[in-house]
Structure 1
């Protein structure tokens, strides 16, 4: 019995060693042929139960039959060709191989015969994608450059693959490169980098390349917001037919903060932010597919190490609508779905390929709606989000805050009975979040409001039980009043809360300022860029949904504060910054604070009368955390 480095187990008779040609003995029988340990990528055939494997060390492309578990075709790409990435056309007519040397090989799908070899970069090919029409190929190299190839006329006689153009798109690694189809049928190409830049490329200009155009045009450069760094991207499956957003193009962007954002590239904003799976690390790959079990849309995902799983679509952030299993003991290097969606293929270390049966029925029915805007009583609402808080005392405190917010929305000068509807104006949503211990920035508040509109759009018209007092309003609600914000940040004694825990007493201090007239005025304020109609009020169930999905999964760590100090320009040796410079940056960069706001915040945190008295003359991250923010440890 002889085993080889290429994954074969041979039975060799002893007589064969007496052969006149010892380098080529006869009588060897192949008992088992398995993929080699140097497999770098896996892809599934779009029409047959077959998979394609790339062997980096031997330079081979293998086509395996999943039923017989045998190699039915193979192609030697060359000993000097180190294959890295693999993509297959939607009709299976051709296969694209990206190589570490910068080559891009196009091969026939059945015979694996090479059609053309292209090389327009010296950097290794990191991503490869093929358009649904099969007319374009996109590749991204290790330097953040995106290359576009087209099947173009050559001298007016025949078509051949040629470079359309290339563009230095990203300063960091390209983590997503995808062709997709908008609901209107238009083919679009996007790339996303770890530098948080999302770019769309002008395929219409690429189609005109036969007229001499060879430049790659960029339509939009946008940055998905949020604290996390993007890790993966895919086109979202179609929305339910009744959704008002069913004609929008949506991209799903997963980040290392365990969030999955539904991003609208046309609006250049996140439509919704959902809590992703929190076990096994951030998502490194997302694949949409349609289940043969229930006919619904689902997402398959993998993390960088060990884990693969499924998520129901539409997303809602509920862990009960997702699952994960440990697929490999080490890295997960590849993920693919069979042509019928019944099998999930995963590639691990040492050439280990696992084939999993996909049974979406085990996760129960898909979420049909994501919020209940018709709840008649917040106090009586039995929210399915309650179990995700993990703290019954916090849940009761949030109920108290929500009930008190309803009182704040009532006219303060009336002698009649209050009209308690079980909903609060969305202008009070930021203050409710602060009372719950989550302190959103202005950008976070914009994402919260966008999510409210997204939830409302997901409810069928005949189920949208919105009362006359909670109708729709085309203007974006204004931010909460300064008095409410200060009260939410301050503790019961006005000295400021240093623990970040929820407290209804913080919200109660706002009753003087948050009169009904102010609430109505805030709801009528118009902000630039906000064009989506939304409900004017939300119920308790929706509030919990937003809180669970938007709050950070992990607490702010000392390492993050140290990184923030480094970004602000603190000395690299000791990480020390002068208090004067820190105060200047707080009033100039990012979401700049006014001098009055800064004074109020520092007084609430430290009790100091002047900003200079609140912060030591020279401060580092550890001192700032302990003496200013008041965090222990």
Structure 2
């Protein structure tokens, strides 16, 4: 029997672009094997990461090494220096590796969840975390029945089945495959030590799962536009667009496709045709049926801009790259 499940997903160094090359720092003695370090480069930076990676943002640091792009990296045999080569600037820079500075940053960054609070807007006392707490504990009420008259069971945990609903409530919409990875990661988190599967999660662990699985560079307009470049055609204005009928067919047949009921429910919520939090009913959204509603609400041609701003209701930042919910 073959088991396929994700072991763990963790947030690595995120400094504006993905890591392009990495090397583990050499050690000079067996004593140094107790703590290892990773040196990496991305588009224009060189950085250092304490291993193992656990998502703690204070365990990594980076500095711009070549503003116009770094082409390669090498380490000295004793692990004291890193060398980076620029592309357009045709230069090689030697960097002295200061492990003590990084260890000091870890100590000053706090323990337990303290470093992770800084990764969410407003930190521990901010609006985002307060809303997360509200959604987390509301999911306990929801799972026990909103209208039940039975005595409620107060707990610090929620069932794993509630995890995707809370994720979506705070603005993260993972694919079904990623949700399955999250489930397996939590289920098997203590299996080696105890031989038992976990079927619930508390708020601190939920926060770590969220931070480690959410897109590290956020949602960008470029990502959506690339999809339209592949799936669409060039319209009369020179923009990539998808016809309304083709757009609906893609949602029903491709990838992790929706059922027709799910699709109608999503559009009814996006267009404000049904009260928030309630399942849409065709009779409540349009007298002539859901198909006519979609013909009315969706334009004949859908571009990346229309999909982003008019359908999803997202706002473009000044740079027109980052999307704001």
Q: What TM-score range do you get, normalising by the shorter chain?
A: 0.7 to 0.9
- 2:116 counterpart (380, 385, 394): 385
- 2:201 counterpart (527, 538, 541): 538
SS in 2 for 1:335: strand
Pairing 1:576–2:307 present: no
Task: State TM-score, norm by structure 1.
Answer: 0.40
More strand by share: 1
For structure 2, list consecutive stretches of 5 or more residues without a partner in the other structure: 274-284, 317-325
| TM-fit CA distance, 1:456 | 4.2
Residue of structure 1 in register with 2:322 after alignment: none
CA offset digits 1:349-405 (Å, max 9, x no partner): 5653333333334322999xxxx9xxxxxxxx9654222112211111111222222
Structure 1's 328 and 571: CA in aligned 2 closer, same or farther, altered over 3 A? Answer: closer
- How far apart, in 2, do the equivalents of 1:616 and 1:332 lie? 44
- How far apart, in 2, do the equivalents of 1:393 and 1:298 lie? 35
More helix by share: 2
- How far apart, in 2, do the equivalents of 1:268 and 1:626 lie? 38
- Aligned partners of 1:577 and 1:619 also within 8 Å: yes
- How far apart, in 1, do the equivalents of 2:143 and 2:268 lie? 28
SS in 1 for 2:129: helix
| TM-fit CA distance, 1:339 | 2.7
Structure 1's 629 and 309: CA in aligned 2 closer, same or farther, altered over 3 A? Answer: same
CA offset digits 1:152-184 (Å, max 9, x no partner): xxxxxxxxxxxxxxxxxxxxxxxxxxxxxxxxx
For structure 1, list consecutive stretches of 5 or more residues without a partner in the other structure: 1-265, 373-380, 465-470, 474-534
Residue of structure 2 in register with 1:281 after alignment: 17
| TM-fit CA distance, 1:601 | 0.8
Pairing 1:598–2:263 present: yes
- 2:299 counterpart (607, 616, 621): 616
Pairing 1:564–2:239 present: no
Higher relative contact order (CA 8 A, sep 6+): 2
Alignment of 1:428-577 (within 5 A): 428-453=162-187, 455-456=189-190, 461=193, 472-473=196-197, 535-571=198-234, 573-577=238-242
Aligned positions, number: 283
Task: State TM-score, norm by structure 2.
Answer: 0.74
Structure 1's 278 and 536: CA in aligned 2 closer, same or farther, altered over 3 A? Answer: same
Residue of structure 1 in register with 2:99 after alignment: 360
Structure 1's 328 and 622: CA in aligned 2 closer, same or farther, altered over 3 A? Answer: closer
Alignment of 1:111-150 (within 5 A): none
Structure 1's 632 and 361: CA in aligned 2 closer, same or farther, altered over 3 A? Answer: closer
CA offset digits 1:44-87 (Å, max 9, x no partner): xxxxxxxxxxxxxxxxxxxxxxxxxxxxxxxxxxxxxxxxxxxx
Structure 1's 288 and 294: CA in aligned 2 closer, same or farther, altered over 3 A? Answer: closer
- Aligned partners of 1:343 and 1:355 also within 8 Å: yes
- Aligned partners of 2:234 and 2:240 also within 8 Å: yes
More deviation, 386-395/267-276: 267-276
RMSD: 3.2
Structure 1's 446 and 365: CA in aligned 2 closer, same or farther, altered over 3 A? Answer: farther
Residue of structure 2 in register with 1:346 after alignment: 84
Alignment of 1:50-449 (within 5 A): 270-289=6-25, 291=27, 295-305=34-44, 307-349=45-87, 352-364=91-103, 383-391=114-122, 392-410=126-144, 415-416=150-151, 418-449=152-183
- Aligned partners of 2:5 and 2:185 also within 8 Å: no
